[in-house]
A = this chain, B = another copy of it.
Amino acid sequence: MESISQLFKALGDQNRLRVVAALMEYDELCACQLTELLQITAATASRHMGVLVACGLVRSRKESRWVYYRLTQESRPLLEMLDWLSRQLANDATVKQDRIKLAAITSCDKNELCKKYTC
């Protein structure tokens, strides 16, 4: 019960929903890319990612200074939830806009991007 409500709470925030939607379309995204997508500070993005990691939806790996996040996709219930979410958000206006932004964000060279986008 507690883990279920935590999962719902995690997804009850629109910025976090946008993150999950983005990670459903990209294998992996860097913290700076997500920060840029959401147009919030790195500190806030980091906290949101902490919530998603804590509820099991997302996991991270570090590569030198860069932290990459991806969906865990390791449990059947979470996969089913993501499938449901994918269908509900397929034609969502915000997600559509994010797709365009993400195409631009991910087409930048990583060093250039992180230099440009951090704080």
Q: A-side interface residues toward B, CB under 8 Å?
A: 1-2, 4-6, 8-9, 11-14, 17-18, 77, 80-81, 84-85, 87-89, 92-95
Contacts and interface: CB of A to CB of B under 8 A. Distances in A.
Give the number of copies in the complex. 2
A75 to B, nearest CB: 11
Contact of A4 (B5, B6, B89, B93): B89
B1 A92 contact: yes
Given A1-B92, A1-B93, A5-B11, 10 more contacts: A1-B14, A1-B17, A4-B17, A4-B85, A6-B12, A8-B8, A8-B17, A11-B12, A80-B84, A81-B84
Contacts of A80: 84
